[in-house]
Amino acid sequence: MNCPKCGKHVGDHDAICPECGAELFIDTALADKLFEKKSEPFNAEPIIKERKKGEKRNKLPKGLSSKKVRLILIAAAAVAVIIIAAVIIISISSSEGEKLAENASDFIGADFEIAEKKLDAKFKKESAYKGLTNVIQYNRAAESDESVRVDGVTYPEWAVLITTDEENRILTVKYADFEILKDDINGVKKDRVVNMDKFRSGSSKKDVDKEVDMDFYSATYTKDGVSYSYRYWYENDSGDKQPVVLAVNYDSDGQYVSYSSVLVYHQYM
């Protein structure tokens, strides 16, 4: 074997190299394995496969051409645009009525005719929808141009309803969003009763909204504050559908005041 330090030939059983004095391995077989010359590593450069002339980069499924793919993508994009546009239109329509109600609430206690001019809105003495007139009391009504069916009855998508006193001063302003109830007049499905007992007067609206966790279908403004109404249902112990109407009240500063929760039962057997 050769000395691992100087490379000179040494005996198989030499413990020290006679040339340089380096300490040698007694086990020559092990020494040969440890100090044998390693071969050069292979060329690790990446292999780049050249694409043959006319070869497609990605093969499409049989029967599906690139033209068809483009048409499918265009159609999908068009559907997405329509859906987004519809959502935006519904959102704008609902927010229009809600904004009108909020602005009208600033005139509670004022003469209605003066308020109507300031609001730049047209209120009617009677709604165009008999269903609305039968369920809500009002003196003046402004409503959306579009309608919606709720439990077989036609309502406007939204309405702003005003009550006045004998001197034509505004007493209350109610915003009703019938679009919320079009899928189910009973409202949102819940796993349990909404627990409002944990809140005390003065609780923040943010905390209350987190527990309620649903959109209101009406808001009633008075000189003392605003009351939001919600509809939801849950399965009771008998496995029956139990509808609930929940009203949450806030003062004029937006602080929680109280709530009422009414169970709705079938009137006829």
At residue 53, the pLDDT reads: 57
Report, in angstroms and rounded to the nearest whole number, the Rg of the chain calculated over CA atoms.
Answer: 40
Reported as type and span, the H/E element at residue 85 is helix 66-105
How many angstroms separate the most distant Cα atoms in the chain? 127
Q: For residue 165, give every residue at least 6 positions away whose Cβ sits within 8 Å of its Cβ, in sequence order, or none.
A: 171
Q: Render the burial of 67-88: b for 16+ CB within 10 Å, e for the rest.
A: eeeeeeeeeeeeeeeeeeeeee
- DSSP annotation of 207 reads H
- Would you state the pLDDT for residue 61? 61
Q: pLDDT tens, position by position, for the chain (269 residues)?
A: 677 777 777 776 677 777 877 776 555 554 555 455 444 444 445 545 555 555 555 555 656 667 676 777 777 777 665 655 444 444 444 489 999 999 999 999 999 999 999 998 889 999 999 989 988 999 999 999 999 999 999 999 999 999 999 999 999 999 999 999 999 999 999 999 999 999 999 999 999 999 999 999 999 999 999 999 999 999 998 889 999 999 999 999 999 999 999 998 865 54
Amino acid at 38: K
List every span in the chain annotated with CATH 3.30.1450.
184-269
Tens digit of pLDDT for each residue in 229-257?
999 999 998 889 999 999 999 999 999 99
Nearest CA among 195, 206, 230, 205 for reference residue 216: 230
Question: What is the reported pTM?
Answer: 0.64
pLDDT at res. 9: 78
- CATH topology for 184-269 is Beta-lactamase Inhibitory Protein; Chain:B, domain 1 (3.30.1450)
Contact 194, 236 (CB under 8 A): no
Choose among 149, 53, 160: nearest CA to 99: 160
